[in-house]
């Protein structure tokens, strides 16, 4: 699909993704201009039950719900690029605490919001579940 007009920089939206990235990169994230940047409003994304990463010690999968909340400034995150970005963690070996912070840092770099909070609710493995909340503000 050829895009014209104000959103032509969004390359993933409306396209078929044949191969998903094997490594997370903030370069995957696409943004678009916030035409209401003078307003304070919150955007929330939820990825429930599909987020996985790999424990760097045991090699076992870690499952999590990822919740992203942010108050945008000049740019907003495009949702399909976010979905592809989050899927790229499937092969990432790292602790959930670091992954949650990495997601927050990449989103911060991509859209430079006024405020952001990323929560990783990691599912029980061995009887222990955990939650990490990473935040940043201007």
Query: What is the full DSSP assignment across the chain?
Result: ----GGGTT--STTS---S--SS--GGG--EEE-TTTTS---EEEEEEEEEEEE-TTT--EEEEEEEEEEE-SSEEE-HHHHHHHHHGGGG-BS-HHHHHHHHHHHHHHHH--SEEEEEEEEEEETTEEEEEEEEEE-
111 as an active site residue: the answer is no
The per-residue pLDDT for 131 is 97
The per-residue pLDDT for 1 is 39
Q: Where are the chain's structural domains? A: 25-137
The per-residue pLDDT for 18 is 63
Per-residue pLDDT of the chain in tens (138 residues, 90 and over written 9): 344 456 666 666 655 666 768 789 999 999 999 999 999 999 999 999 899 999 999 999 999 999 999 999 999 999 999 999 999 999 999 999 999 999 999 999 999 999 999 999 999 988 999 999 999 999
Pick the CATH number of 25-137 from 1.20.58.60, 3.30.1130.10, 1.10.287.3510, 1.10.390.10: 3.30.1130.10
The per-residue pLDDT for 16 is 61
Give me the catalytic one of 40, 62, 94, 106: 62
- The reported pTM is 0.88
The per-residue pLDDT for 14 is 57
55 as an active site residue: the answer is yes
Give me the catalytic one of 40, 55, 94, 106: 55
Over residues 80-110, the pLDDT tens digits come to: 999 999 999 999 999 999 999 999 999 999 9
């Amino acid at each position: 699909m050829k895009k014209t007009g104000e959103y032509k920089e969004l390359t993933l939206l409306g396209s078929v993704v044949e191969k998903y990235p094997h490594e997370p990169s903030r370069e995957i994230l696409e943004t678009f201009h916030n035409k209401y940047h003078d307003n304070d409003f919150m955007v929330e994304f939820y990825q429930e039950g599909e987020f996985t990463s790999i424990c760097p010690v045991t090699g076992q999968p870690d499952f999590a719900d990822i919740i992203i909340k942010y108050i945008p400034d000049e740019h907003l995150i495009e949702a399909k690029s976010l979905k592809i970005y989050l899927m790229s963690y499937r092969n990432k070996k790292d602790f959930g605490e670091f992954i949650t912070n990495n997601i927050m840092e990449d989103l911060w770099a991509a859209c430079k919001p006024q405020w952001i909070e990323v929560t990783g609710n990691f599912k029980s493995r061995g009887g222990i579940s955990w939650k990490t909340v990473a935040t940043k503000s201007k």
